[in-house]
Amino acid sequence: MRIAVVGAGALGSLYAARLAAGGHPVSLLARPAAAAAVASGGIRVEGRIRVEGREGAAEPVRSIRVTTSATDLAGADLLLLAVKTYHTADTLPALAPLRGAVGAVCSVQNGVTKDVALAGVFGEGAVLGAMSLEGATLLAPGRVLWTSPTSTAFGERDGRLTDRLESVVVAFRGAGLKAEALPNVVAAMWAKFGIMVPGATLSVLSRLPLYRLYQEPRLGALFVALCREVQSLAEAHGVPWEDFPGMRVATLCRLPTEEGVKLLAERGRAWEAAGATALKASTLVDLERGRRTELADLVGYLAAEGARRGLYLPYASVLGEAVQAVAEAAAR
């Protein structure tokens, strides 16, 4: 399968390298500096990599065709958008000439507005839903740390199990990436949003790694409150609120708050026991590195879209305002 990846950051580099190592022709659209690094040294994925069931050496993958021109992506069977949400609006116009010149398009970004944005450029029929649970950090251009090898879910937005969906999942699995086809990918994106919004917001406010945040009872109660507000917005969009592996949002919201807090604390203790003590929300990592965060598209979107629809979402309004003020102050 010919694959085009847009954005040579953490996730884009991970997917590009693993898919190319799996034998797929991969084109990667990158900023000039990243393109130069990948052109000269390829992409090295570090961390726990399995090649044919064994621990694999982190050899750089050099078979990636890297470019700074979107039109070079024409002919791809699958285009995968992997820029931060705040770069979507300035990236899509460059991709517009590819309408009709690529097969399916999908976004592995967080957030719940990405597919509408893609449909506006490529047409609704081109968009395949995607939700990435992978964890990756860019160490330098062309060097990525695979922090938690997990999985990527794909699905048609109307729930059909199509041939193209099957081909994408087979291509990813063939490259040693865990992938699954879901009949309810939109619900899965919203479930991730239900975890991301509280985690991203409360991480920036508390500056705690996730395993600690989950174990703090008052932060746990705020987490549950924000998750319930995401549920309200999901349901206002007609999206069912369901549990998924690793994202028990329906259970969390249904339980009395103190039980939900206990569930979160159990998760925090499990991560601690497994040694996952360095894991931080990407918003906190970005804040610490002096980079822009995706908060506006997470809690900011929840508050704004809730208000637009006349929903009462007090935690999103107040905490969203607080956290964006914190991020702005940190950036000065």
Ligand X SMILES: NC(=O)c1ccc[n+]([C@@H]2O[C@H](COP(=O)([O-])OP(=O)(O)OC[C@H]3O[C@@H](n4cnc5c(N)ncnc54)[C@H](OP(=O)(O)O)[C@@H]3O)[C@@H](O)[C@H]2O)c1
Interaction of residue 31 with ligand X, rule CB under 6 A: yes
| Binding residues for ligand X restricted to 270-289, rule: CB under 6 A | 282
The residue (of 150 and 257) whose beta carbon lies closer to ligand X is 150
CB of 329 to ligand X, least distance (A): 22
Interaction of residue 9 with ligand X, rule CB under 6 A: yes
Interaction of residue 7 with ligand X, rule CB under 6 A: yes
Interaction of residue 91 with ligand X, rule CB under 6 A: yes
Q: Which listed range, 2-10, 51-59, 97-105, 209-217, lies at the site for ligand X (CB under 6 A)?
A: 2-10
CB of 254 to ligand X, least distance (A): 26
Separation of alpha carbons 88 and 103, rounded Å: 19
Interaction of residue 327 with ligand X, rule CB under 6 A: no
Q: Which listed range, 76-84, 181-189, 225-233, 306-314, lies at the site for ligand X (CB under 6 A)?
A: 76-84
Q: Sort 178 into a burial class: Cβ within 10 Å, 0-12 / 13-18 / 19+.
A: middle
Interaction of residue 8 with ligand X, rule CB under 6 A: yes
Interaction of residue 209 with ligand X, rule CB under 6 A: no
Distances (CA, A) of 18 to 91, 235, 316: 23, 36, 37
The residue (of 135 and 209) whose beta carbon lies closer to ligand X is 135
Residues with Cβ within 8 Å of 302's Cβ and at least 6 positions away in sequence, in order, are 197, 226, 229, 230, 233, 313, 316, 320
CB of 327 to ligand X, least distance (A): 15
Three-state DSSP state, 222: helix
Measured from the Cβ of residue 44, the count of other Cβ atoms closer than 10 Å reads 19
Separation of alpha carbons 243 and 135, rounded Å: 20
| Binding residues for ligand X restricted to 108-147, rule: CB under 6 A | 108-110, 132, 134-136, 138
Candidates 5, 21, 34, 247; binder of ligand X (CB under 6 A) is: 34
CB of 179 to ligand X, least distance (A): 14
DSSP 79-127: EEE-S-GGGHHHHHHHHGGGTTTSSEEEE--SSSSHHHHHHHHH-GGGB
**What DSSP state is assigned to residue 259?**
H
CB of 252 to ligand X, least distance (A): 20
Residues with Cβ within 8 Å of 141's Cβ and at least 6 positions away in sequence, in order, are 8, 30, 33, 34, 36, 37, 38
Binding site for ligand X (CB under 6 A): 7-12, 29-31, 34, 82-85, 87, 91, 108-110, 132, 134-136, 138, 282, 294
